């Protein structure tokens, strides 16, 4: 009963999907102990950040039907809030609180302004407006060198208890050093779980049902008495605030932030791909999509290197499998995933379950 409440009665509705979600969550929870190495820990931390970021975008795209290219702007605001505050105030919890609070306020105001002025515009025109706003913000962040560090970004320190130099115990546990880096990882893990469950609650609330009604037929929703602009604007604001929190998570883990780290258009494209791969309008798709995409992005080159070496007897095949062509193969994998999973991994697994 408690689990149903946590999941807002929105169960996976598929044995395979349930099993996959359990495996992924356990893998993230136990990564420091079962996947040794700095790279594996960084990939897992990035997966948790993107779960929150993609889920917040799914609230906007999958549940409300709004296509926005400004999502990474709010992601960057969260990261810059932490970076600027700790750079100015020092590595303290007060600085983190001030930076996060200021970022949330700025994101709220910008999301409200963009929502009120742009959400009355239809389809592609709204998407173009959000793209222009995001591009302007990226340019601004790159030029305000005294505040944001410009193209070089900002490197900062976090509270000592979260830094790798802080050790809780001289003796490692299961071969893992008990230091601040481990604590920071589990802080991100707990935060990601809480934020994901909060988003799941939102989309399964009466408010979330109205958003889905607007997505299906905006004119019918307006006709039965719902103020569509208010609901769409509220959805945009909530989505922006959760994206801001995801940005703060990323900055806290990296202890650095720059334009390419949180504001680039490539990140926006990655978010779109992950939503499509996982399944729009499912929330659970953010977990599966983020894990599949980021693991492939991080380890595809290594796999191609092994395959290229193994095919050395066939020069043409070895050249085709060259690690330098990893983007080509990542694109092929994406095309195949869309072809075989048109409703995303979650949609396909749920459909297979219902078919039985």
More confident position, 48 or 168: 48
Which of 35-44, 53-62, 176-185 has the least mean pLDDT? 176-185
Contacts of 115 by beta carbon, 8 Å cutoff, 6+ apart: 232, 233, 236, 237
Instruction: Indicate if the pLDDT at residue 198 is higher than 70.
Output: yes
Contact 279, 154 (CB under 8 A): no
Instruction: Indicate if the pLDDT at residue 56 is higher than 80.
Output: yes
Residue 129 tokens read as 């407006």
pLDDT of residue 1: 43
Coil/strand/helix, residue 225 = coil
Instruction: Indicate if the pLDDT at residue 90 is higher than 70.
Output: yes
Neighbours of 67 (CB within 10 A): 15
Question: How far from chain centre, in Å, is Cα 338?
Answer: 20
CA distance 55 to 275: 8
Instruction: Indicate if the pLDDT at residue 210 is higher than 60.
Output: yes
Q: Could you confirm whether domain 17-355 is CATH 1.10.3470? A: yes
Residue 237 tokens read as 């604001």
Coil/strand/helix, residue 155 = strand
Q: State the alpha helices, DSSP H only, in 151-283.
A: 180-203, 206-216, 218-223, 228-254, 259-262, 265-278
The helix-helix angle for 228-254 and 71-89 (nearest 10°) equals 40
Strand boundaries in the chain, DSSP class E = 154-155, 256-257
pLDDT of residue 318: 80
Tokens 């050790």, residue located? 167
Instruction: Indicate if the pLDDT at residue 197 is higher than 90.
Output: yes
Instruction: Indicate if the pLDDT at residue 6 is higher than 50.
Output: yes
pTM: 0.92
Contact 210, 231 (CB under 8 A): yes
Contact 162, 168 (CB under 8 A): no
């Amino acid at each position: 009963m408690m689990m149903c409440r946590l999941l807002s009665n929105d169960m996976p509705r598929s044995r395979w999907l349930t099993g996959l979600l359990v495996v992924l969550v356990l893998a993230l929870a136990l990564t420091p102990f079962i996947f040794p190495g700095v790279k594996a820990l960084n990939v897992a931390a990035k997966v948790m950040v993107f779960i929150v970021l993609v889920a917040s975008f799914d609230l906007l795209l999958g549940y409300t039907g709004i296509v926005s290219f400004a999502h990474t702007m709010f992601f960057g605001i969260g990261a810059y809030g932490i970076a600027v505050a700790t750079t100015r105030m020092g590595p303290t919890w007060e600085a983190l609180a001030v930076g996060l609070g200021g970022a949330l306020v700025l994101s709220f105001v910008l999301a409200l302004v963009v929502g009120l002025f742009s959400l009355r515009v239809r389809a592609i025109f709204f998407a173009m407006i959000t793209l222009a706003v995001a591009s302007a913000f990226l340019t601004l962040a790159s030029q305000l060198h005294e505040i944001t560090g410009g193209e070089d970004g900002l490197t900062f320190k976090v509270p000592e208890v979260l830094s790798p130099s802080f050790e809780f115990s001289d003796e490692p546990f299961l071969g893992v050093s008990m230091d601040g880096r481990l604590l920071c990882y589990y802080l991100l893990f707990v935060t990601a779980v809480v934020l994901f469950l909060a988003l799941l609650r939102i989309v399964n609330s009466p408010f979330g049902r109205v958003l889905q009604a607007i997505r299906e037929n905006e004119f019918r929703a307006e006709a039965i008495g719902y103020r569509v602009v208010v609901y769409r604007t509220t959805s945009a604001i909530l989505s922006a605030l959760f994206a801001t929190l995801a940005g703060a998570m990323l900055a806290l883990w990296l202890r650095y932030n720059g334009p390419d780290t949180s504001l680039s258009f490539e990140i926006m494209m990655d978010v779109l791909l992950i939503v499509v791969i996982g399944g729009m309008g499912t929330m659970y798709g953010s977990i599966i999509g983020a894990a599949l995409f980021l693991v492939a992005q991080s380890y595809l080159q290594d796999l191609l290197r092994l395959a290229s070496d193994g095919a050395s007897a066939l020069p043409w095949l070895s050249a085709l499998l060259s690690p330098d062509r990893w983007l080509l193969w990542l694109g092929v994998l994406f095309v195949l995933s869309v072809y075989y999973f048109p409703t995303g991994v979650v949609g396909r697994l749920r459909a297979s379950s219902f078919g039985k």
